Structure 1
Amino acid sequence: MSQTQSNKSSFFVKRPILFVIIVEVLLLFVVTVGGAIATIKELDYTSAIWVSFTPIALALIIYLTWTKKWGSVGFRSLSTIPKRNWLYYFPLILVLIIIGIEGFDGVTLSKVIQFVSFTLLVGFVEETVYRGLILKAMLNKSVTAAVVTSSLLFAFTHALNLISGQDAASTAVQIVYSLLVGAVLALLMVRDGNILPLILFHFLHNLIQFLGIESTGVNYFDLIALAVLAIYTVILIKSLDMKKVVGSIAA
Protein backbone atom coordinates (compact mmCIF):
# COMPACT_ATOMS: atom_id res chain seq x y z
CA MET A 1 0.00 0.00 0.00
CA SER A 2 1.35 3.41 -0.99
CA GLN A 3 1.81 6.27 1.47
CA THR A 4 -1.00 8.18 -0.24
CA GLN A 5 -3.43 5.28 0.11
CA SER A 6 -2.43 4.82 3.75
CA ASN A 7 -3.10 8.49 4.51
CA LYS A 8 -6.49 8.32 2.81
CA SER A 9 -7.56 5.35 4.89
CA SER A 10 -6.00 6.34 8.21
CA PHE A 11 -9.10 8.04 9.67
CA PHE A 12 -11.35 5.21 8.43
CA VAL A 13 -9.04 2.65 10.08
CA LYS A 14 -7.77 4.44 13.19
CA ARG A 15 -11.00 6.14 14.26
CA PRO A 16 -13.72 3.64 13.26
CA ILE A 17 -16.19 4.64 15.99
CA LEU A 18 -15.86 8.35 15.24
CA PHE A 19 -16.14 7.60 11.52
CA VAL A 20 -19.35 5.63 12.10
CA ILE A 21 -20.84 8.39 14.26
CA ILE A 22 -20.07 11.01 11.60
CA VAL A 23 -21.58 8.87 8.82
CA GLU A 24 -24.77 8.14 10.80
CA VAL A 25 -25.24 11.75 11.95
CA LEU A 26 -24.73 13.07 8.42
CA LEU A 27 -27.21 10.53 7.06
CA LEU A 28 -29.86 11.43 9.64
CA PHE A 29 -29.25 15.15 9.11
CA VAL A 30 -29.70 14.97 5.34
CA VAL A 31 -32.79 12.75 5.66
CA THR A 32 -34.30 15.13 8.25
CA VAL A 33 -33.64 18.18 6.09
CA GLY A 34 -34.99 16.38 3.03
CA GLY A 35 -38.11 15.37 4.95
CA ALA A 36 -38.63 18.95 6.14
CA ILE A 37 -38.31 20.28 2.58
CA ALA A 38 -40.76 17.64 1.33
CA THR A 39 -43.24 18.59 4.06
CA ILE A 40 -43.00 22.31 3.31
CA LYS A 41 -43.37 21.67 -0.42
CA GLU A 42 -46.19 19.16 0.28
CA LEU A 43 -44.43 16.43 -1.71
CA ASP A 44 -45.48 12.79 -1.66
CA TYR A 45 -43.43 10.04 -0.01
CA THR A 46 -41.46 9.04 -3.10
CA SER A 47 -40.55 12.64 -3.83
CA ALA A 48 -39.36 13.03 -0.25
CA ILE A 49 -37.11 10.01 -0.73
CA TRP A 50 -35.62 11.52 -3.87
CA VAL A 51 -34.97 14.81 -2.10
CA SER A 52 -33.25 13.06 0.83
CA PHE A 53 -31.36 10.23 -0.84
CA THR A 54 -30.15 11.78 -4.10
CA PRO A 55 -27.52 14.04 -2.46
CA ILE A 56 -26.44 11.13 -0.23
CA ALA A 57 -26.00 8.88 -3.27
CA LEU A 58 -23.97 11.54 -5.07
CA ALA A 59 -21.80 12.07 -1.98
CA LEU A 60 -21.18 8.32 -1.70
CA ILE A 61 -20.23 8.04 -5.37
CA ILE A 62 -17.80 10.96 -5.08
CA TYR A 63 -16.30 9.67 -1.82
CA LEU A 64 -15.83 6.09 -2.98
CA THR A 65 -14.38 7.21 -6.31
CA TRP A 66 -12.04 9.76 -4.73
CA THR A 67 -10.75 7.33 -2.09
CA LYS A 68 -10.83 4.32 -4.44
CA LYS A 69 -12.83 2.30 -1.90
CA TRP A 70 -15.48 0.77 -4.18
CA GLY A 71 -13.93 -2.68 -3.93
CA SER A 72 -13.19 -2.45 -0.22
CA VAL A 73 -16.83 -1.76 0.67
CA GLY A 74 -18.09 -4.69 -1.40
CA PHE A 75 -18.55 -3.57 -5.01
CA ARG A 76 -16.92 -6.64 -6.53
CA SER A 77 -17.64 -9.09 -9.30
CA LEU A 78 -20.25 -11.71 -8.35
CA SER A 79 -17.69 -14.32 -9.41
CA THR A 80 -15.84 -13.61 -6.15
CA ILE A 81 -18.62 -15.42 -4.28
CA PRO A 82 -17.82 -19.18 -4.13
CA LYS A 83 -20.50 -21.28 -5.82
CA ARG A 84 -21.26 -23.20 -2.62
CA ASN A 85 -21.94 -19.92 -0.80
CA TRP A 86 -24.86 -19.04 -3.08
CA LEU A 87 -26.91 -21.51 -1.05
CA TYR A 88 -26.85 -19.01 1.80
CA TYR A 89 -28.77 -16.49 -0.33
CA PHE A 90 -31.77 -18.77 -0.94
CA PRO A 91 -33.50 -17.79 2.34
CA LEU A 92 -33.56 -14.22 1.04
CA ILE A 93 -35.67 -15.44 -1.87
CA LEU A 94 -37.97 -17.14 0.64
CA VAL A 95 -38.41 -13.85 2.51
CA LEU A 96 -39.28 -12.08 -0.76
CA ILE A 97 -41.89 -14.74 -1.51
CA ILE A 98 -43.41 -14.40 1.98
CA ILE A 99 -43.76 -10.62 1.84
CA GLY A 100 -45.24 -10.80 -1.66
CA ILE A 101 -47.64 -13.66 -1.06
CA GLU A 102 -50.60 -11.35 -0.33
CA GLY A 103 -50.43 -10.00 -3.86
CA PHE A 104 -50.14 -6.57 -5.40
CA ASP A 105 -52.47 -3.60 -5.53
CA GLY A 106 -53.27 -1.74 -8.75
CA VAL A 107 -49.92 -2.34 -10.44
CA THR A 108 -49.38 -0.26 -13.57
CA LEU A 109 -46.31 0.25 -15.75
CA SER A 110 -45.91 3.87 -14.65
CA LYS A 111 -46.23 2.87 -10.99
CA VAL A 112 -43.60 0.12 -11.40
CA ILE A 113 -41.18 2.52 -13.11
CA GLN A 114 -41.74 5.09 -10.37
CA PHE A 115 -41.08 2.64 -7.55
CA VAL A 116 -38.19 0.85 -9.30
CA SER A 117 -36.22 4.07 -9.56
CA PHE A 118 -36.47 5.15 -5.95
CA THR A 119 -36.19 1.66 -4.41
CA LEU A 120 -32.95 1.20 -6.36
CA LEU A 121 -31.77 4.51 -4.93
CA VAL A 122 -32.67 3.49 -1.37
CA GLY A 123 -31.10 0.05 -1.79
CA PHE A 124 -27.83 1.53 -3.04
CA VAL A 125 -27.61 4.21 -0.34
CA GLU A 126 -28.60 2.11 2.67
CA GLU A 127 -26.49 -0.91 1.75
CA THR A 128 -23.46 1.23 0.93
CA VAL A 129 -23.77 3.08 4.23
CA TYR A 130 -24.64 0.22 6.60
CA ARG A 131 -23.16 -2.92 5.02
CA GLY A 132 -20.40 -1.01 3.26
CA LEU A 133 -18.90 1.94 5.14
CA ILE A 134 -20.10 1.26 8.69
CA LEU A 135 -19.54 -2.50 8.64
CA LYS A 136 -16.11 -2.12 7.04
CA ALA A 137 -15.02 0.54 9.52
CA MET A 138 -16.14 -1.47 12.57
CA LEU A 139 -14.33 -4.59 11.34
CA ASN A 140 -11.22 -2.79 12.57
CA LYS A 141 -12.65 -3.51 16.03
CA SER A 142 -14.09 -7.01 15.52
CA VAL A 143 -16.57 -8.98 13.44
CA THR A 144 -19.06 -8.93 16.31
CA ALA A 145 -18.76 -5.16 16.71
CA ALA A 146 -19.21 -4.70 12.96
CA VAL A 147 -22.34 -6.85 12.67
CA VAL A 148 -23.97 -5.54 15.86
CA THR A 149 -23.24 -1.86 15.16
CA SER A 150 -24.37 -1.89 11.54
CA SER A 151 -27.54 -3.85 12.43
CA LEU A 152 -28.50 -1.64 15.38
CA LEU A 153 -27.95 1.58 13.46
CA PHE A 154 -29.93 0.22 10.52
CA ALA A 155 -32.82 -0.65 12.84
CA PHE A 156 -32.53 2.67 14.70
CA THR A 157 -32.75 4.68 11.48
CA HIS A 158 -35.81 2.72 10.37
CA ALA A 159 -37.38 3.09 13.82
CA LEU A 160 -37.28 6.87 13.42
CA ASN A 161 -39.19 6.50 10.16
CA LEU A 162 -41.89 4.51 11.94
CA ILE A 163 -42.89 7.28 14.33
CA SER A 164 -46.11 8.02 12.48
CA GLY A 165 -48.88 7.20 14.91
CA GLN A 166 -49.18 3.49 14.10
CA ASP A 167 -49.94 0.99 16.84
CA ALA A 168 -47.21 -0.19 19.20
CA ALA A 169 -47.36 -3.84 18.08
CA SER A 170 -46.79 -2.97 14.42
CA THR A 171 -43.95 -0.62 15.31
CA ALA A 172 -42.26 -3.23 17.53
CA VAL A 173 -42.53 -5.94 14.84
CA GLN A 174 -41.11 -3.63 12.18
CA ILE A 175 -38.19 -2.60 14.38
CA VAL A 176 -37.32 -6.24 15.14
CA TYR A 177 -37.78 -7.06 11.45
CA SER A 178 -35.35 -4.34 10.34
CA LEU A 179 -32.89 -5.45 13.03
CA LEU A 180 -32.97 -9.05 11.78
CA VAL A 181 -32.71 -8.00 8.13
CA GLY A 182 -29.74 -5.83 9.07
CA ALA A 183 -28.08 -8.72 10.91
CA VAL A 184 -28.63 -11.19 8.05
CA LEU A 185 -27.26 -8.82 5.42
CA ALA A 186 -24.32 -7.87 7.62
CA LEU A 187 -23.45 -11.54 8.18
CA LEU A 188 -23.65 -12.24 4.45
CA MET A 189 -21.37 -9.27 3.84
CA VAL A 190 -18.92 -10.61 6.41
CA ARG A 191 -19.07 -14.04 4.78
CA ASP A 192 -18.54 -13.02 1.15
CA GLY A 193 -17.50 -9.36 1.15
CA ASN A 194 -19.82 -8.67 -1.79
CA ILE A 195 -22.50 -5.99 -1.51
CA LEU A 196 -24.19 -6.50 -4.90
CA PRO A 197 -26.56 -9.35 -3.86
CA LEU A 198 -27.52 -7.32 -0.79
CA ILE A 199 -28.43 -4.26 -2.86
CA LEU A 200 -30.47 -6.48 -5.18
CA PHE A 201 -32.36 -8.03 -2.25
CA HIS A 202 -32.93 -4.64 -0.60
CA PHE A 203 -34.23 -3.23 -3.89
CA LEU A 204 -36.60 -6.16 -4.56
CA HIS A 205 -37.77 -6.23 -0.92
CA ASN A 206 -38.75 -2.56 -0.95
CA LEU A 207 -40.25 -2.81 -4.42
CA ILE A 208 -42.51 -5.71 -3.37
CA GLN A 209 -43.57 -3.83 -0.25
CA PHE A 210 -44.48 -0.64 -2.10
CA LEU A 211 -46.33 -2.46 -4.87
CA GLY A 212 -48.07 -4.84 -2.47
CA ILE A 213 -51.47 -4.56 -0.87
CA GLU A 214 -51.30 -2.20 2.09
CA SER A 215 -52.19 -3.93 5.33
CA THR A 216 -52.80 -2.66 8.85
CA GLY A 217 -51.53 -4.30 12.00
CA VAL A 218 -49.44 -7.45 12.29
CA ASN A 219 -50.41 -10.48 10.20
CA TYR A 220 -49.25 -14.11 10.01
CA PHE A 221 -46.94 -13.40 7.09
CA ASP A 222 -45.07 -10.81 9.16
CA LEU A 223 -44.53 -13.37 11.91
CA ILE A 224 -43.45 -16.07 9.44
CA ALA A 225 -40.92 -13.70 7.88
CA LEU A 226 -39.61 -12.82 11.36
CA ALA A 227 -39.21 -16.52 12.20
CA VAL A 228 -37.35 -17.20 8.93
CA LEU A 229 -35.01 -14.27 9.52
CA ALA A 230 -34.35 -15.26 13.14
CA ILE A 231 -33.51 -18.87 12.21
CA TYR A 232 -31.47 -17.67 9.25
CA THR A 233 -29.44 -15.35 11.49
CA VAL A 234 -28.53 -18.23 13.81
CA ILE A 235 -27.57 -20.45 10.87
CA LEU A 236 -25.31 -17.76 9.40
CA ILE A 237 -23.59 -17.15 12.74
CA LYS A 238 -22.93 -20.84 13.27
CA SER A 239 -21.67 -21.30 9.70
CA LEU A 240 -19.02 -18.58 9.83
CA ASP A 241 -15.35 -19.45 9.87
CA MET A 242 -14.11 -16.25 11.52
CA LYS A 243 -10.49 -16.60 10.42
CA LYS A 244 -11.45 -16.95 6.78
CA VAL A 245 -14.15 -14.27 6.65
CA VAL A 246 -12.05 -11.59 8.32
CA GLY A 247 -9.28 -12.17 5.83
CA SER A 248 -11.77 -12.14 2.94
CA ILE A 249 -13.54 -8.89 3.76
CA ALA A 250 -10.37 -7.12 4.81
CA ALA A 251 -8.77 -7.82 1.44
Structure 2
Amino acid sequence: MNNKLTFSVKHPIWTVTIIELLVIILMTAAGAYATIMELDYTAPVLIAFAPIALALMIYFTWRRKWQRIGFRSLRTISRSDWLYYLPLIAVLVLYAMNGIKPVTGSEVLYCLFVALLVGFVEETIYRGLIFQTLVKKSIPAAVITSTLLFFLTHMLNLLSGQDMLDTVLQLIYALLIGLTLVLFVLKTGNIIPGILFHFVHNLFQDQFIGNTSTMTQIIIVMCVMAAVSTWLAIDLKRTKQWRQWVISGTVNG
Protein backbone atom coordinates (compact mmCIF):
# COMPACT_ATOMS: atom_id res chain seq x y z
CA MET A 1 0.00 0.00 0.00
CA ASN A 2 2.91 2.33 0.75
CA ASN A 3 3.96 2.05 -2.88
CA LYS A 4 0.81 3.92 -3.86
CA LEU A 5 1.63 6.90 -1.68
CA THR A 6 2.72 10.03 -3.50
CA PHE A 7 6.13 11.62 -2.96
CA SER A 8 4.57 14.47 -0.95
CA VAL A 9 2.90 12.01 1.43
CA LYS A 10 6.02 9.89 1.91
CA HIS A 11 8.44 12.84 2.07
CA PRO A 12 6.54 15.96 3.25
CA ILE A 13 9.63 17.81 4.47
CA TRP A 14 11.49 17.28 1.20
CA THR A 15 8.39 18.33 -0.72
CA VAL A 16 8.07 21.60 1.20
CA THR A 17 11.82 22.27 0.88
CA ILE A 18 11.74 21.75 -2.90
CA ILE A 19 8.69 24.00 -3.30
CA GLU A 20 10.25 26.83 -1.32
CA LEU A 21 13.63 26.54 -3.08
CA LEU A 22 11.94 26.70 -6.48
CA VAL A 23 10.02 29.83 -5.46
CA ILE A 24 13.16 31.53 -4.12
CA ILE A 25 15.22 30.62 -7.18
CA LEU A 26 12.57 31.91 -9.58
CA MET A 27 12.03 35.14 -7.63
CA THR A 28 15.77 35.78 -7.28
CA ALA A 29 16.36 35.18 -10.99
CA ALA A 30 13.39 37.36 -11.93
CA GLY A 31 14.60 40.13 -9.62
CA ALA A 32 18.10 40.02 -11.08
CA TYR A 33 16.76 40.15 -14.62
CA ALA A 34 14.42 43.07 -13.81
CA THR A 35 17.30 44.96 -12.20
CA ILE A 36 19.61 44.44 -15.18
CA MET A 37 16.91 45.45 -17.64
CA GLU A 38 15.79 48.36 -15.40
CA LEU A 39 12.18 47.20 -15.35
CA ASP A 40 9.53 48.50 -12.93
CA TYR A 41 8.97 47.06 -9.46
CA THR A 42 6.15 44.70 -10.54
CA ALA A 43 8.24 43.01 -13.24
CA PRO A 44 9.95 40.41 -10.99
CA VAL A 45 6.57 39.30 -9.65
CA LEU A 46 5.12 39.01 -13.13
CA ILE A 47 8.13 37.17 -14.53
CA ALA A 48 8.32 34.67 -11.64
CA PHE A 49 4.65 34.20 -10.73
CA ALA A 50 3.07 33.91 -14.19
CA PRO A 51 4.77 30.56 -15.01
CA ILE A 52 4.20 29.36 -11.43
CA ALA A 53 0.48 30.10 -11.69
CA LEU A 54 0.25 28.29 -15.02
CA ALA A 55 2.11 25.26 -13.65
CA LEU A 56 -0.12 25.13 -10.56
CA MET A 57 -3.33 25.27 -12.59
CA ILE A 58 -2.16 22.52 -14.94
CA TYR A 59 -0.99 20.33 -12.06
CA PHE A 60 -4.15 20.75 -9.95
CA THR A 61 -6.36 20.03 -12.95
CA TRP A 62 -4.32 17.05 -14.10
CA ARG A 63 -4.15 15.49 -10.60
CA ARG A 64 -7.62 16.70 -9.59
CA LYS A 65 -6.24 18.41 -6.51
CA TRP A 66 -8.21 21.67 -6.50
CA GLN A 67 -10.51 20.66 -3.66
CA ARG A 68 -7.76 18.95 -1.68
CA ILE A 69 -5.68 22.14 -1.75
CA GLY A 70 -8.59 24.16 -0.37
CA PHE A 71 -10.52 25.36 -3.42
CA ARG A 72 -13.94 24.51 -2.04
CA SER A 73 -17.36 26.08 -2.36
CA LEU A 74 -17.84 29.14 -0.15
CA ARG A 75 -21.02 27.46 1.05
CA THR A 76 -18.84 25.13 3.12
CA ILE A 77 -18.15 28.10 5.41
CA SER A 78 -20.90 28.46 8.02
CA ARG A 79 -22.61 31.77 8.68
CA SER A 80 -21.06 31.97 12.13
CA ASP A 81 -17.59 31.43 10.70
CA TRP A 82 -18.05 34.31 8.24
CA LEU A 83 -18.11 36.62 11.28
CA TYR A 84 -14.42 35.88 11.80
CA TYR A 85 -13.68 37.49 8.44
CA LEU A 86 -15.22 40.84 9.41
CA PRO A 87 -11.90 42.25 10.75
CA LEU A 88 -10.28 41.47 7.38
CA ILE A 89 -13.07 43.33 5.61
CA ALA A 90 -12.50 46.24 8.00
CA VAL A 91 -8.81 46.25 7.02
CA LEU A 92 -9.71 46.47 3.34
CA VAL A 93 -12.17 49.30 4.03
CA LEU A 94 -9.45 51.15 5.95
CA TYR A 95 -7.08 50.96 2.98
CA ALA A 96 -9.87 51.79 0.53
CA MET A 97 -10.40 55.07 2.37
CA ASN A 98 -7.08 56.26 0.94
CA GLY A 99 -8.68 56.29 -2.49
CA ILE A 100 -6.96 55.50 -5.77
CA LYS A 101 -4.73 57.45 -8.09
CA PRO A 102 -5.88 58.64 -11.52
CA VAL A 103 -5.00 55.77 -13.82
CA THR A 104 -5.77 54.65 -17.35
CA GLY A 105 -7.94 51.67 -18.18
CA SER A 106 -4.92 49.61 -19.21
CA GLU A 107 -3.17 50.39 -15.91
CA VAL A 108 -6.23 49.25 -13.98
CA LEU A 109 -6.35 45.97 -15.90
CA TYR A 110 -2.63 45.44 -15.37
CA CYS A 111 -2.92 46.09 -11.61
CA LEU A 112 -5.93 43.79 -11.35
CA PHE A 113 -3.99 41.02 -13.09
CA VAL A 114 -0.84 41.41 -10.96
CA ALA A 115 -2.79 41.64 -7.67
CA LEU A 116 -4.82 38.54 -8.53
CA LEU A 117 -1.69 36.70 -9.70
CA VAL A 118 0.13 37.37 -6.43
CA GLY A 119 -2.92 36.50 -4.32
CA PHE A 120 -3.46 33.22 -6.17
CA VAL A 121 0.18 32.10 -6.23
CA GLU A 122 1.16 33.03 -2.67
CA GLU A 123 -2.01 31.67 -1.07
CA THR A 124 -1.93 28.50 -3.15
CA ILE A 125 1.71 27.79 -2.33
CA TYR A 126 1.83 28.73 1.35
CA ARG A 127 -1.72 28.20 2.61
CA GLY A 128 -2.39 25.49 0.03
CA LEU A 129 0.47 23.22 -1.05
CA ILE A 130 2.83 23.69 1.89
CA PHE A 131 0.14 23.78 4.58
CA GLN A 132 -1.79 20.80 3.19
CA THR A 133 1.40 18.77 2.76
CA LEU A 134 2.20 19.07 6.47
CA VAL A 135 -1.17 19.42 8.19
CA LYS A 136 -1.97 15.71 8.51
CA LYS A 137 1.46 15.06 10.00
CA SER A 138 1.50 17.91 12.49
CA ILE A 139 -0.91 20.85 12.68
CA PRO A 140 1.46 23.12 14.68
CA ALA A 141 4.29 22.35 12.23
CA ALA A 142 2.02 23.08 9.26
CA VAL A 143 0.92 26.43 10.69
CA ILE A 144 4.39 27.52 11.78
CA THR A 145 6.20 26.32 8.63
CA SER A 146 3.79 27.91 6.15
CA THR A 147 3.93 31.19 8.10
CA LEU A 148 7.71 31.28 8.40
CA LEU A 149 8.30 30.36 4.74
CA PHE A 150 5.89 33.09 3.65
CA PHE A 151 7.91 35.43 5.89
CA LEU A 152 11.20 34.15 4.44
CA THR A 153 10.08 34.72 0.86
CA HIS A 154 9.23 38.35 1.64
CA MET A 155 12.76 38.81 3.00
CA LEU A 156 13.85 38.85 -0.65
CA ASN A 157 12.74 42.48 -0.62
CA LEU A 158 15.95 43.17 1.30
CA LEU A 159 17.78 42.53 -1.96
CA SER A 160 15.72 45.01 -3.94
CA GLY A 161 17.18 48.18 -2.45
CA GLN A 162 14.05 48.93 -0.45
CA ASP A 163 14.37 51.15 2.61
CA MET A 164 15.36 49.09 5.69
CA LEU A 165 12.56 50.42 7.93
CA ASP A 166 9.97 49.74 5.24
CA THR A 167 11.34 46.23 4.80
CA VAL A 168 11.27 45.46 8.54
CA LEU A 169 7.67 46.66 8.77
CA GLN A 170 6.74 44.62 5.71
CA LEU A 171 8.32 41.51 7.22
CA ILE A 172 6.39 41.89 10.48
CA TYR A 173 3.30 42.63 8.43
CA ALA A 174 3.84 39.51 6.28
CA LEU A 175 4.37 37.38 9.37
CA LEU A 176 1.08 38.49 10.93
CA ILE A 177 -0.91 38.20 7.70
CA GLY A 178 0.58 34.76 6.98
CA LEU A 179 -0.31 33.51 10.45
CA THR A 180 -3.84 34.92 10.30
CA LEU A 181 -4.64 33.51 6.86
CA VAL A 182 -3.28 30.03 7.61
CA LEU A 183 -5.40 29.89 10.78
CA PHE A 184 -8.44 30.76 8.67
CA VAL A 185 -7.63 27.83 6.36
CA LEU A 186 -7.21 25.57 9.37
CA LYS A 187 -10.59 26.66 10.70
CA THR A 188 -12.60 26.36 7.47
CA GLY A 189 -10.52 24.22 5.11
CA ASN A 190 -11.20 26.86 2.45
CA ILE A 191 -8.49 28.89 0.74
CA ILE A 192 -10.69 31.10 -1.46
CA PRO A 193 -11.47 33.87 1.11
CA GLY A 194 -7.73 34.25 1.72
CA ILE A 195 -7.06 34.63 -1.99
CA LEU A 196 -9.80 37.25 -2.30
CA PHE A 197 -8.47 39.17 0.70
CA HIS A 198 -4.90 38.98 -0.61
CA PHE A 199 -6.06 40.16 -4.05
CA VAL A 200 -8.02 43.20 -2.82
CA HIS A 201 -5.36 44.03 -0.22
CA ASN A 202 -2.60 44.07 -2.83
CA LEU A 203 -4.76 46.08 -5.19
CA PHE A 204 -5.21 48.92 -2.69
CA GLN A 205 -1.53 48.73 -1.71
CA ASP A 206 -0.30 48.84 -5.31
CA GLN A 207 1.89 51.86 -6.01
CA PHE A 208 0.29 52.33 -9.43
CA ILE A 209 -3.32 52.47 -8.30
CA GLY A 210 -3.49 52.83 -4.51
CA ASN A 211 -2.52 55.86 -2.47
CA THR A 212 0.23 55.36 0.12
CA SER A 213 -0.90 54.01 3.49
CA THR A 214 0.02 55.99 6.58
CA MET A 215 2.16 54.58 9.36
CA THR A 216 -0.88 54.78 11.65
CA GLN A 217 -2.90 52.60 9.26
CA ILE A 218 -0.14 50.02 9.03
CA ILE A 219 0.17 49.80 12.81
CA ILE A 220 -3.61 49.50 13.17
CA VAL A 221 -3.69 46.69 10.62
CA MET A 222 -0.85 44.83 12.36
CA CYS A 223 -2.72 45.11 15.66
CA VAL A 224 -5.88 43.82 14.00
CA MET A 225 -4.02 40.84 12.52
CA ALA A 226 -2.39 40.05 15.86
CA ALA A 227 -5.78 40.17 17.59
CA VAL A 228 -7.54 38.06 14.94
CA SER A 229 -4.81 35.40 14.90
CA THR A 230 -4.95 35.17 18.70
CA TRP A 231 -8.75 34.95 18.60
CA LEU A 232 -8.62 32.21 15.97
CA ALA A 233 -5.94 30.24 17.80
CA ILE A 234 -7.92 30.26 21.04
CA ASP A 235 -11.14 29.31 19.25
CA LEU A 236 -9.48 26.50 17.30
CA LYS A 237 -7.95 25.05 20.44
CA ARG A 238 -11.30 25.22 22.23
CA THR A 239 -13.60 23.87 19.50
CA LYS A 240 -11.25 21.64 17.47
CA GLN A 241 -13.52 22.54 14.55
CA TRP A 242 -10.77 21.68 12.08
CA ARG A 243 -10.51 18.05 13.12
CA GLN A 244 -12.91 16.49 10.61
CA TRP A 245 -11.68 18.16 7.43
CA VAL A 246 -8.03 17.59 8.35
CA ILE A 247 -8.62 13.89 8.96
CA SER A 248 -10.99 13.25 6.07
CA GLY A 249 -9.80 15.91 3.63
CA THR A 250 -13.38 17.16 3.18
CA VAL A 251 -15.56 19.87 4.60
CA ASN A 252 -19.22 19.50 5.42
CA GLY A 253 -21.38 21.92 3.46
**TM-score, normalising length from structure 1?**
0.90
Rounded Cα–Cα distance in structure 1 between residues aligned with 2:25 and 2:105: 34
- Which runs of 4 or more aligned residues in structure 1 lie more than 6 Å from their structure 2 counterparts after TM superposition? none
**Structure 2 counterpart of 1:156:** 152
Aligned residue for 2:194? 198
The yes-or-no answer on 1:214 pairing with 2:216 is no
The DSSP-based 3-state class of the residue aligned with 2:42 is: helix
- The farther-off stretch of 28-37 and 227-236 is 28-37
Match of 1:247 in 2: 244
Q: Are 1:236 and 2:232 counterparts?
A: yes
Shift of 1:243: 4.0
User: Residues 222-241 of structure 1, C-alpha deviation per residue, up to 9 Å, x if partnerless?
Assistant: 11111111111100001115
Aligned pair 1:13/2:17, yes or no? Answer: no
Question: Alignment RMSD, CA only?
Answer: 2.0
Structure 2 residue identity aligned to 1:130 = Y
In the TM superposition, what are the counterparts of 1:157-196 in structure 2 within 5 Å?
157-196=153-192
Shift of residue 65, structure 1, vs aligned partner = 1.9
Q: Which runs of 5+ in 1 are unaligned?
A: none
Q: Which residue of 2 aligns with 1:85?
A: 81
Distance apart, 1:83 and its partner CA: 1.7
CA contact (8 A) 1:100 1:209 kept: no
- Corresponding residue for 1:38? 34
2:117 to 115, 121, 137: 121
For residues 25 and 57 of structure 1, the distance between their equivalents in structure 2, rounded to whole angstroms, comes to 16
Matched-pair contact (CA < 8 Å) for 2:16–2:133: yes
**Residue matched to 1:70:** 66
Corresponding residue pairs, total: 245
* Distance in 2, Cα, partners of 1:98 & 1:168: 25
Q: What letter is aligned with 1:237?
A: A
CA contact (8 A) 1:78 1:194 kept: yes
Cα separation, 1, equivalents of 2:155 and 2:6: 32
In 2, Cα distance between equivalents of 1:148 and 1:114: 33
Give the conservation status (yes or no) of the 8 Å contact 2:147–2:178: yes
Percentage identity across paired residues of the two chains: 47
Q: Deviation of residue 34 (structure 1)? A: 2.1
TM score, norm. by length of structure 2: 0.89
